[in-house]
Chain A
Amino acid sequence: MADGLRFEGRRVTVEPGDTVASALYRADVRTFTRSLKYHRRRGLWCVTGDCPNCMVNVDGDPGVRACMTDARDGQVVVRESGWPSAERDLLHVTDRLHRFLPVGFYSKTFIRPRFVWGLAERAIRRATGVGHLPIGRPASARPARALHVDLLVVGGGVAGLAAAAEAAAAGSRVVLVEERRLGATAWDARVRERIQTLAAEARAAGAEILEHHTAVGLYEGPFVPVVGPAEVLHVEAGRVVAATGAVEAHAVFPGNDLPGVFLARGAALLSIRHGVAPGRRAVVVATTDEGRASAAALRSAGMEVLIHDGPVIAAEGNGRILAVTLGTPSGRERITCDTLVLSLGWAPRDALLRMGTDQEVAGAGDVAIPGCSLEEAEASGRRAANGHDEAPSDVPTVPVGDEGYVCLCEDVSLHDLQQAWDEGWRSSEILKRYTTATMGPCQGAVCGRLLAAFAGARADAVATAGARTTSRPPARPLVLEDLAAGVDEMIEQRTSLHDRHLGLGARMERSGSWSRPTTFDAIDEEIRAVRHRAGLMDVGTLGKFLVAGRDAAELLDRVFPIRVRDLGPGRSRYLVALDEAGYVIDDGLLAALDHGRFYLCTTSGRAPAMEAWLRDWIDRWGLHVHLLDQTAQLGAILVAGPKARAILGRLTGDDVSAEALPHMRHADITVADVPCRAVRVGFVGEVGYELHHDRSRGPALYDALLEAGQVEGAQPFGLGALDVLRLEKAHLYLGQDTLPDDHPAKLGLEWAVAMDKPDFIGKRALERMGALPLERTLVGLRIDGEPRRGVPLLVGGRVVGRVTSCARSEAARGTIALGWVRAVDGSFPTELIAGHAVATVVPTPFYDPEGARLRV
């Protein structure tokens, strides 16, 4: 491996301790980016990760802050703004066209003719942006780890480490997170020494210090997501101490964004820590002690330094600063220089603090007392550990000149803000949204106060108009993998027959959260098997509940619109479940067991909702009911077809004849040595036995049924065949054939509702709706064309309905469908157009309308 990193075709030396920024600067790179809109040259400015100026592409990752990234041999670094290059950027012409591209111009121009916006938008997108996504790179999963701590300290400076040491010594479980290496942004040797000592004290007391971990937000709890190199931590803290420090204040004057303008801490870091002089001749404008100290440090590093304590009027230069005009008591003075260093005040990094206004979050150090001394910072940290909440100091804003860039990230100048204000956008929040100021990578860290001060200072502004805009996560840029850490999309539910299905060659599909077989071989064959011989289907996904206790019958009678009291043991009834508005929320079956217990079956996927629904009523009515969700505990296999009884007969000694076990009855039997609750059902329109059994016995039962069924020509079948079989009987699929405001009358299910019962949930709603004419109904259709589900139904060119289920049916000899239609002029149409075909309303079921097949 050759020495150095690779930068746009050149080799750049990497000295020990270098960041990408310091290594490039030493190699005479001065322009790091081109600004977002106007493509102005931008160079190192804060050098502490607070501004967007140094964002480059490192090893394929776009938007990496060069000043925050350790330089390594072999790194590949490329600048990503400017076309064709950052040095020679033809799009710089937009800066000259500033007049024609006022703030918000894309909301006002390129609107007519309409096609122009398409072209303009593409051009604008290509010209802006901070980098190129590594689209070819495969996404990698980042694990999330939950961490429970008493105190989370954010920031590994003097204040944060003091807080961690203090709290750990008192016995708290403490974790401190620091986004760099400890001491990386300290240029003063005294500060670095203190950091090392405090870190040792904290560790000795039991605090855990995590370097290269960045806190990105603060949520209720407090809950703080922290992004580390290998995983994302989800920290639940009893308290949080934010010791995130402060960045020097941004000053607004003409030329304030020229390369060569530095914040004092940045200049000192570059010069003292990395041994790279920012320039040869510097003017240091400092009103703070630290600013003056950094001037002395720059001088002792060999730079020619002029110190000024007063305002900056303007900076001039062409792509690089050449001179600065300062305000003096006697007027103005213009001084040539190649570096301008500013320390005019502080902007506390209070993004996290401000997210935690309602939480147990305290500030310590610079963020609470900007510009405090080393000793004050440490004391403040120890106070914060002991529960003291520092009231943030009032931070005086730096006076603003006549012109200059306010938001560096989004290229919003003072002139732009004034123009927006003149147009009528008159508060910090609305100015933010209109001009996009504070919406860039720095999220207002640099310019937030200036935006608020701008709005607040305007003579006609209302009091709240000058408030700081709301601080929201993330506080630092995130990659999508960080956001996705810990998310699980593909949670799959399986029956105990899952592996058997795979062994039989089933093609599986996701049906809600369940994995279910679509088909084992050919859907048409499976349909024929069920109609002429027998089919076996895994219906273990059904919702199943045991309802017991002295008020069980009372609960079911009050909640469901069916007569429960006359359901004797051994009998079952089709059940439609209604909500209080009378709308259908589920359907299934209620079977009466012995001893006043009931067995309730619901559609697959709705068991959790049914459990919540019933528990709500049990709770509100104070009933004594035992409700046990047995959906997972029990499997169920359907044996259906003319030969179903014969197959069962081979495997059981119990009487499963038509007399002993007729339609809509159930009995406890033993099949192939497996105890089962056999429920006679007719969902597919043939004699059917649903065998409900303990989940663990499922595979053995299935094997026995398959083997016994072979002689009779039985086949396993899946959802593909089920769809057609049930459609031939016009049995609905909830959610597919039903709409959320379907009540039983609209679905032809009045027969399932006992309106003569004194009361049930939804009865009054049904009475109200029953007095109104029916405006929509579900109908059966024959279509003389290709089956297409979802196609609208038309009468006279107007849409009056939709096809909800559709299939070609051999048994019904043609294409059959279910669909809903609206009443037209008081009656329901019988001839409609579905796509290019004619759809005729016909009576249902399409197959065996008398139900004779079930009474065999």
Chain B
Amino acid sequence: MFEIRRTLVGVVTASAGAGALDGLVVPGRAFGCRTADDELMLLSVPQVTDEVVREVSTRLATLDPDALVIDTTDGWAAITVAGGGARSSFGLLSRLELPDAGFTQGEVVHVPAKVIADDEQVLILAPSMWEAHLLDRVTKALGATGRLETREWRVPTP
């Protein structure tokens, strides 16, 4: 059994040299996803993205003065599948193999997506122009009916 929720996530994208990102200590209020050698996506609750931008900019400035840190929240739509069956039902959404805990990226419901999984839930982010598609396909594939609740995302406890 599981539940599906539309999720509000704050997203900050940091673009910097690989060495700088390797050396960056991610602020406690954010969860880092290393999407490429030169790119880090930081997830947080939506209200603190300004702070995350400030903190990460400050920390990166010493490591890479040319770094770019931008709030990209509006670029992403997110949905969470939570509960005991969340991980096992992921196969209905994607051919990706879910990590035990952490981040992966690839095609989910046929669009490029970022996935954060732990043992209780799976968070799926896709570019926001696919928001309607993401919500529709995930709910249909998992056999859910009715309106989706919307909830804010919480940083997973380590």
Whether A628 lies near B68 (C-beta < 8 A) is yes
B25 at the interface (CB under 8 A from A): no
Report B129-154 CB contacts with A as 1/0, cut-off 8 Å.
11111000100010000000000000
B66 CB–A CB distance under 8 Å: yes
Contacts of B45 in A (CB 8 A): none
**B127's closest neighbor in chain A, by CB?**
A632
Residues of B within 8 A of A629 (CB): 75
Contact with B along A376-417 (1 / 0, CB 8 A): 000000000000000000000000000000000000000000
Taking a contact as CB atoms under 8 Å apart, the answer to whether A633 and B133 are in contact is no
Contact among B17, B75, B94, B131 for A146, CB-based, below 8 A = B94
Contact A145 B91 (CB under 8 A): yes
Q: Taking the complex as formed, is A777 at the interface, i.e. its CB lies under 8 A from any CB of chain B?
A: no
- A234 x B74 contact (CB < 8 A): no
B80 CB-CB contact with A under 8 Å: no
Among A421-429, A449-457, A543-551, A671-679, the stretch in contact with B? A543-551
Give A632 to B72 CA distance when docked, in angstroms. Answer: 10
**Given A624-B66, A633-B75, A634-B74, are A495 and B97 also a contact pair (CB < 8 Å)?**
no
Residues of A within 8 A of B130 (CB): 491, 493, 632
Bound-complex Cα distance A327 to B90 (A): 62
Contact across chains for B131 and A494 when beta carbons are under 8 A apart: yes
Other-chain residue from B74, B90, B96 in contact with A633 (beta carbon distance below 8 A): B74
Kindly list chain B residues whose C-beta atoms are within 8 Å of the C-beta of A28.
none
Query: Once the chains bind, are A494 and B132 in contact (CB under 8 Å)?
Result: yes
Known: A628-B70, A631-B129. A491 touches B110 (CB 8 A): yes
A492 touches B75 (CB 8 A): no
Residues in A neighbouring B66, C-beta threshold 8 A: 549-550, 624
Q: Among B15, B111, B132, point to the contact of A626 (Cβ < 8 A).
A: B15
A488 x B109 contact (CB < 8 A) = yes
Separation of A550 and B94 alpha carbons in the complex (Å): 38
Interface string of A611-635 (1 = CB under 8 A from B): 0000000000000101111111110
A146 vs B130: C-alpha distance when bound (angstroms): 22
Are A633 and B92 also in contact (CB < 8 A) when A236-B97, A493-B130, A628-B15 are? Answer: no
B54 interface contact, C-beta 8 A:
no
A696-B74 in contact (CB<8A): yes
B68→A498 contact, CB < 8 A? no
Q: Which residues of A, 628-680, contact B by the 8 Å Cβ criterion?
A: 628-634
User: Which chain B positions have C-beta within 8 A of A631?
Assistant: 127, 129
List the B side residues contacting A146 at CB < 8 Å: 90-92, 94-96
Contact mask for chain A residues 108-147; partner B; CB cutoff 8 A; 1 contact, 0 none: 0000000000000000000000000000000000011111
* A144 contact set on B, CB distance < 8 A: 92
Chain B residues, Cβ within 8 Å of A764:
none
**Residues in chain A near residue B75, CB distance under 8 A:** 629-630, 632-633, 695
A633/B91 in contact, CB under 8 A = no
Residue of A nearest to B89 (CB): A145
Contacts of A624 in B (CB 8 A): 17, 66
A141: nearest chain-B partner, CB-CB = B140
Are B133 and A695 interface neighbours, CB within 8 A?
A: no
Q: In the complex, which residues of chain A have a beta carbon less than 8 angstroms from the beta carbon of B141?
A: 143
The reply on A481 being an interface residue by CB < 8 A is no
A565 CB-CB contact with B under 8 Å: no
On whether the beta carbons of B74 and A546 are closer than 8 Å, the reply is no
Residues from chain B with a CB closer than 8 A to the CB of A627 are 15
> What are the residues of chain A within 8 A of B92 when measuring CB–CB?
143-146
Known A488-B110, A548-B68; contact A148-B132, beta-carbon cutoff 8 A: no
A847 and B23 alpha carbons, distance in the complex (Å): 59
Distance from A43 Cβ to chain B, minimum over Cβ atoms (Å) = 43
Residues 183-223 of chain A: 1 if any B CB is under 8 Å from the residue's CB, otherwise 0?
Answer: 00000000000000000000000000000000000000000
Closest to B16 in A: A626
Contact B133 A491 (CB under 8 A): yes
A148 and B97 contact, CB distance less than 8 A: yes
Give the distance in Å from the alpha carbon of A492 to the alpha carbon of B136 in the complex.
11
Q: Considering the chains assembled together, what is the distance between the CA atoms of A634 and B71 in angstroms?
A: 12
Instruction: Fill in one digit per residue for A226-249: 1 if any B CB lies within 8 Å of its CB, else 0.
Output: 000000001010000000000000
Q: Does B7 contact A (CB under 8 A)?
A: no
Cβ distance B28 to chain A, nearest Cβ, rounded Å? 25
In the bound complex, CA of A174 to CA of B94 (Å): 20
What's the nearest-Cβ distance from chain A to residue B67, in Å?
Answer: 8
Return the chain A residue nearest B128 by Cβ.
A632
Among residues of B, the one whose C-beta sits closest to the C-beta of A495 is B129
Please tell me if the beta carbons of B91 and A147 are within 8 angstroms of each other in the complex.
Answer: yes
Least CB distance, B147 to chain A, in whole angstroms:
15
Residues of chain A lying within 8 A (CB to CB) of residue B15: 548-549, 626-628
Contact A549 B97, CB 8 Å, known A494-B132, A495-B129: no
* Nearest 6 interchain pairs by C-beta: A633-B75, A626-B15, A146-B91, A632-B127, A626-B68, A695-B74
- Known contacts A234-B91, A631-B127, A632-B129; 14 additional CB pairs below 8 A are A145-B91, A146-B96, A491-B111, A491-B130, A494-B129, A624-B66, A626-B15, A628-B13, A630-B72, A632-B75, A632-B76, A633-B73, A634-B74, A696-B74
A-B contact pairs, 17 of them (CB 8 A): A145-B92, A146-B90, A488-B109, A491-B110, A492-B133, A493-B130, A494-B131, A494-B132, A548-B68, A549-B66, A624-B17, A628-B70, A628-B72, A630-B75, A632-B130, A633-B75, A695-B128
